[in-house]
Structure 1
Amino acid sequence: MARRLRIVTASTLALLLIATLALGGCTTTAEQGGATIGDEEAAKDASLQTVKERGEIIVGLAPFYAPFESTNEQTKEIEGFDIDLMNAIVEKMGVKATYRPAEWQALLGGLEKGDYDVIFSAMSKKEAAEANVEFSDVYYLLPDVIIVAKGNPKGITSKDDLKDKIVGVQLGSGSEQLADELNPEIGFKGLKKYKLTQDAMNDLKAGRIDAVIAGYTFALEQAKVDPSFEVSSEPLESAELVGVFRKGSTSLVEAFNKALAEVKADGTYDALVKKWLTIQQQ
């Protein structure tokens, strides 16, 4: 520190004061929407460089939502549409993907803490809208539907038929948000919120609730593996599924979007949709 001490004259102080005021003015302008903060953030953005130097992108996900991501009971490996799509994207980026499973409700907090670089777990813009994050381009449109017991004993064929019914949804999901919006309009008898959609399905099977609101592909997968369920309605609302990144990860998001576009252009994306998401209902 001793080498940095200088004798400061009155004229020097004046110059320093002018410079400080000028810099303060720039900061204020940027905070009000000017380009300065954007330039500063871009200069500090090392998100892509960090991933490149590490040679991997760390992916947070909740592997409880087949066919997007789930744990194979035989191999114990996480598999699904999101896994295959992410692997194809990161191959284009020249890195590998490392997956870190977490509870669904903990994903956004883990991203904020820096536990992973991206959430890629059938998460919609709506589900992450209140978090301080950035989104990739939309990679899939997932409609929400009503799931009922086989034979539809309560005669539920539209959202209006949910009046005076007990409805189940997954806590923290887009389906929960949709149900919260529909309830005042329609008037459910009850709205039960579960840690996992599968828990709601179990209660539906046991007759403790009348219907479940969930994603269409998940619903068809459940109907395929368990004939106790069926989809009873046309889509209620479509969710825009995206990769979710920490705020300021602009360079990483741009590289991700470029790779996603390449995967769509070369036919890989369509092949994965056919493999995982094109399900014939039994």
Structure 2
Amino acid sequence: MSTGNGPRALTRRTLLRGAAATGVVTLAGCGPDEASTSFQAAQRTGTIKVGFANEAPYGFLDETGRLTGEAPEVARAVLRDYGITKLEGVLADFRQLIPGLKAGRYAFVAAGMFINPSRCADAAFPIPDYQVESAFLVPEGNPKGITRFQDIPGKDVLIAVLTGGVELGYAVEAGVPEEQIVTLGDQDSVFRAVRDGRVYGAATLDTTAAWLLEQNPGSGLAKSEPFLLGSTPGIGAFTFPRGATDFVAAFNTGLRRLKESGEWLRIVKPFGFSERNVPPPDVTTEQLCGDA
């Protein structure tokens, strides 16, 4: 399968990183006059703009420049029934995805974003897409024995986290001193920092760590045993503008169909997802959003 983080993709990724730091960059698909940022317009044109952060295996560019990953491929299957067949990727730094959504730069975000109350205050989420645990990317053998955030205080280590990700808050909550936390803007930077020994390890999602190791054999790195950041796995979903009620409802209909038919699992398996990533049926977006 084509990858977005193996050695051949790094040069393209590096070039894009600088542009994304200052805003969003349209990367693939039809021109701006053809791509749409609303559900209704996309049904007429067949093409829709989608925000993503180039983080595999959730949403990334493969070696040909095609937008792929768990979220874009699920979205393609959902939207096909509504006459929308082309996704035009708009790259943004992860922490800029919701601001870009609110600014109308794309119709929705396909980046595996976790549902939480702070994000629900700024965006709308459909039904849960997947669930996942966390893990540390560490040197083989994990000589410092870092398997939880609670293992870090008192040890001479630096731990990288993705800027805008949930790991930073959990690290601080677990008592990790700020001077031991290094925030980096993208997945490439996180992986390279661990591989090159500039940090001891990186807190990331279990599926992300597994993907990076698969795409970079011989890196000298390993994945710790999965663990929960809170009391339950993280729940990821697509992200829509607040007020996009019709679009969210239509997307929910299509996503439920994929899950009930088993098609969802077939789509996501090439990206390292399995039955264990299916959210429990009793977990709802309303519960995860709380009072937001």
TM-score (norm 2): 0.72
Partner Cα separation in structure 1 for residue 117 and residue 203 of structure 2:
15
Partner Cα separation in structure 2 for residue 188 and residue 150 of structure 1:
25
The structure number with the bigger radius of gyration is: 1
1:214 aligned counterpart, secondary structure: strand
**Distance change (3 Å), C-alpha of 1:176 and 1:160:** closer
Residues 154-163 or 204-213, more deviating: 154-163
> Greater helix share, 1 or 2?
1
Partner Cα separation in structure 2 for residue 198 and residue 128 of structure 1:
26
Aligned residue for 1:31? Answer: none
The aligned amino acid for 2:44 is E
Aligned residue for 1:179? Answer: 171
Residue of structure 1 aligned with 2:40, choices 49, 59, 62: 49
TM-score (norm 1): 0.74
Residue of structure 2 aligned with 1:123, choices 102, 110, 113: 113
Query: Taking every aligned residue pair, what percent have the same amino acid on both sides?
Result: 24
Hey, which bits of structure 1, 4+ residues long, moved more than 4 A? 186-189
Partner Cα separation in structure 2 for residue 215 and residue 106 of structure 1:
20
Q: How does 1:125-140 map to 2 (within 5 A)?
A: 125-126=115-116, 129=119, 131-140=121-130
Aligned residue for 1:60? Answer: 51
- Contact kept? 1:70, 1:78, Cα under 8 Å: yes
* Alpha-carbon shift at residue 104 of structure 1 (Å): 1.9
**Distance change (3 Å), C-alpha of 1:58 and 1:173:** same
Number of equivalent positions: 229
List alignment gaps of at least 5 residues for structure 2: 1-37, 275-292
Aligned residue for 2:181? Answer: 191
2:114 aligned counterpart, secondary structure: coil
Aligned residue for 1:276? Answer: 271
Aligned residue for 2:94? Answer: 104
Residues 124-133 or 100-109, more deviating: 124-133
Aligned residue for 2:143? Answer: 153
RMSD after superposition: 2.2
Aligned: 1:206 with 2:206: no
**Distance change (3 Å), C-alpha of 1:53 and 1:201:** same
**Distance change (3 Å), C-alpha of 1:197 and 1:175:** farther
Partner Cα separation in structure 1 for residue 166 and residue 147 of structure 2:
21
List alignment gaps of at least 5 residues for structure 1: 1-46
**Distance change (3 Å), C-alpha of 1:118 and 1:278:** closer
1:169 aligned counterpart, secondary structure: strand
